[in-house]
Amino acid sequence: MADTERRRPSPEQLLRQVEAAERKEQRGKLKVFLGYASGVGKSFRMFDENRRRKARGQDVVVAAVQPEASEEVEEVLKNFEIIPPRLDLGSPCVDVDAVRRRRPAVCLIDGLAYSNPPGSKNRERWQDVEELLDAGISVTTTINLQYIQEKQAQVEAIREKRVLDSVPERFIRQADEIEIVDAPAEYSVTVTEDGERVHSEEAARLQQQLSELREIALVLVAEVVDHQLENYLRQQGIEQNYGTHERILVCVTPRSNASLMISRAKRQSARFHGELFVAYVEQDRLTPEDRTTLEGNLEAARKANAHVEILHGEDPVAAILRFAEKEGITQIFVGHSQQGGWIRSWRPNPVERLILEAEGIDVRVFPNSGEAEGL
């Protein structure tokens, strides 16, 4: 549905926003350090940053450390008060009640992806964190890409390894702050292989794998940042589109060379780590053949993982531009011909209008299939 008003909040939305903001105010803040593999230095980064924070007088405690810490981490840990884990259930887990009694401003939890032993109040450590946040305690934590549930299939396909613990992506996405700890892939190669020196061919393969993981992690953080920025702008009623993220909109008709357009758009959006939209402006008087072709085109779009949208409106150009503005589109792909379908009902020339009226959006014009007549 074309709804241009979404950016300007209604009174009810504003009220909900204020209430949500108040709830958020009382809740602790969650900060996540994300790494693409072990050995990139997440733990050290977290402890080092908070060592400085503590030196400035903030009340920071540690509630969980990794079973095997590097020398560097052991050293920096000496700066902190540590709330010992509960051991009564067999394996160590965060002592949520003790942390709540202690009530620090910030609680550091190194390693978010742990399952608590059977019989614990919360099954997963991220649920412990949720409890602390609800209690108004801010939590800073670390996680590796491979533990993010929605990314696991992708990571497994690359690493050919499986991990059991996981944290849902939405939990990471709702963090107040997320920071990536980036390091060149070569360094984690030497660290991750448990001290064993790897064969050079093996090392090259591993490096390739780690690069792929790095890319996934960077794009994930970029998406979180994009989402937060968009939310913020929307809340403030700011109609600003920074175009940081390429969003491609393909306009299809029964006559357009949809296969070519979608294929190009899919490739381009993949290259830019962007998003793909395919829209069709509904019109009457489609012949049954046209209807079938169109359905096929939209099916191809869904297969390409595009957001498919049927638009309505007397004026197709206006409908497309409304949708483009709402979604922050940066490139429109459109077919061009004089004959047939929607184009005939548009005057003056719709492609021309799109080009002239699209503000801040590139328009890429494709010749329609099987013809290349003049305008």
Which residues contribute to the site for other proteins (CB under 8 A)? Answer: 31, 49, 52, 56, 176-184, 208, 211-212, 214-215, 218-219, 221-222, 225-226, 228-229, 232-233, 238, 240-245, 259-260, 263-264, 267-268, 271-273, 336, 349, 351-352, 355-356, 358-367, 372, 374-375
Tell which residue, 341, 347, 348, has the closest CA to residue 368. 341
Sign of the torsion formed by the C-alpha atoms of 308, 243, 170 and 19: negative
3-state secondary structure of 281: strand
Shorter beta-carbon distance to other proteins: residue 140 or 146: 140
Shorter beta-carbon distance to other proteins: residue 221 or 318: 221
| 66-71, long-range: CB < 8 A, 24+ apart | 66/110, 66/111, 69/43, 70/43, 70/44
In the complex, least distance from residue 353 CB atom to other proteins, rounded to whole angstroms = 11
Shorter beta-carbon distance to other proteins: residue 125 or 353: 353
At residue 160's C-alpha, the angle toward residues 123 and 115, to 5°, is: 10
In the complex, least distance from residue 41 CB atom to other proteins, rounded to whole angstroms = 9
3-state secondary structure of 251: strand
Give the strand pairing for 30-35 and 138-144: parallel
CB atoms within 10 A of CB 10: 10
In the complex, least distance from residue 12 CB atom to other proteins, rounded to whole angstroms = 25
Shorter beta-carbon distance to other proteins: residue 93 or 109: 109
In the complex, least distance from residue 366 CB atom to other proteins, rounded to whole angstroms = 5
In the complex, least distance from residue 215 CB atom to other proteins, rounded to whole angstroms = 5
Give the strand pairing for 307-311 and 177-180: unpaired
Shorter beta-carbon distance to other proteins: residue 32 or 93: 32
3-state secondary structure of 342: helix
In the complex, least distance from residue 113 CB atom to other proteins, rounded to whole angstroms = 20
Shorter beta-carbon distance to other proteins: residue 86 or 336: 336
